[in-house]
Amino acid sequence: MAEIAEVEQKQKGGKKKFKKVPAHVDMTPMVDLMCILITFFMLTTVFTKPKIMEIVLPEKIKKNENVEPPKIAKSRTMNIILGPDNKVFWYPGIADDPKNPPPLQETDFSPEGIRQVLLERNRALFKKVSAFNDDVVTGKIDIPRDSVQSAIRQLKRDDDTGPIVLIKAYEKAKYGNFVDVIDEMSICDIARYTFVDLTWLEEEMIKRALGEQPVTSTGTN
């Protein structure tokens, strides 16, 4: 466009002919370079930052301290034991009688596996939380966005019917499964869960379950 204007000027004022040489810069190499640079930056830019998942473990009870571990209701307790090969075992209650250990149920990390078990037990709280979320989305409850999380946390704190999940890991478990199971806790809105060590009786139970059970169908539900 600049060129055209200059050409017109040249025709009007003939005297300045030698001064007004149309500046014609060849842009092609610059455009080429820009193309390359844009492609480079597009391919190297990572828009997704890695995410973090918070987990709080109970404070360790040191040996010389006279502190009793907190007592929890047996009826609400649910134990999840991570096994090898993406297997996961669970049983309700507490394993305290070596002669009569509670039955271990085997399941897996598919949506029909451990998630169903957890959802079934945590139905009341899960419904409350998802109803609350729906109300926030549809505008029935009008609260600022940043207090949604704390409101949900309050809902979880008030809950007194959902399971108390104790997560334990057998020595051959993988770290990925540990993350998976904590992930399931947040998917299912479990209010209370923690990670504890395996007791010897549970270890026995796991070994028996792994030794006896051939690889057959999973998903006990």
Partner 1 sequence: MTPMVDLFSVLLIFFVLTATVRPQEAAPIDMPFSVSEKTVPDANIMTVLIAKDNRILFNIDNGPDTILKYRPKILEEMGKRYNIEFTPQELRKFEKINTSFGVPIQRMKEFLQAEDLQARTKIETGIPIDSADNQLAVWILCTRQINPNVQACIKGDADVNFPIVREVLDILQDKNVNRFNLITSLRAVEIKEEDIKTE
Which residues in this chain contact partner 1 in the complex, by CB under 8 A?
Answer: 1, 27, 30-31, 34-35, 37-38, 41-42, 44-60, 82, 111, 115-116, 119-120, 123, 126-127, 130, 169-180, 182-183, 186-187, 221
**From the CB of 125, what's the least distance to partner 1, in Å?**
12
Q: Give which of 203, 165, 173 is closest to 55, Cα–Cα.
A: 165
Task: Name which of 7 and 96 has its Cβ closer to partner 1.
Answer: 7
What does DSSP assign to residue 158? H
Smallest gap from Cβ 17 to partner 1, in A, equals: 26
Contact 56, 83 (CB under 8 A): no
- Say which residue the tokens 């949506």 belong to: 111
| The amino acid at 174 | K
Note whether 140 and 53 are within 8 A (CB): no
In whole angstroms, how close is the CB of 9 to partner 1 at the nearest point?
20
- Is residue 204 a contact partner of residue 97, using CB atoms and an 8 Å limit? no
Q: Which of 162, 164, 179 is nearest to 88 (CA)?
A: 179
Q: Are 181 and 94 in contact (CB under 8 A)?
A: no
**CB of residue 150 vs partner 1: minimum separation in angstroms?**
14
For partner 1, the closer of residues 19 and 51 by Cβ is 51
Least Å distance, CB 87 to partner 1, is 13
Closer by beta carbon to partner 1, 178 or else 210: 178
Q: Which residue lies nearer to partner 1 by CB, 2 or 21?
A: 2
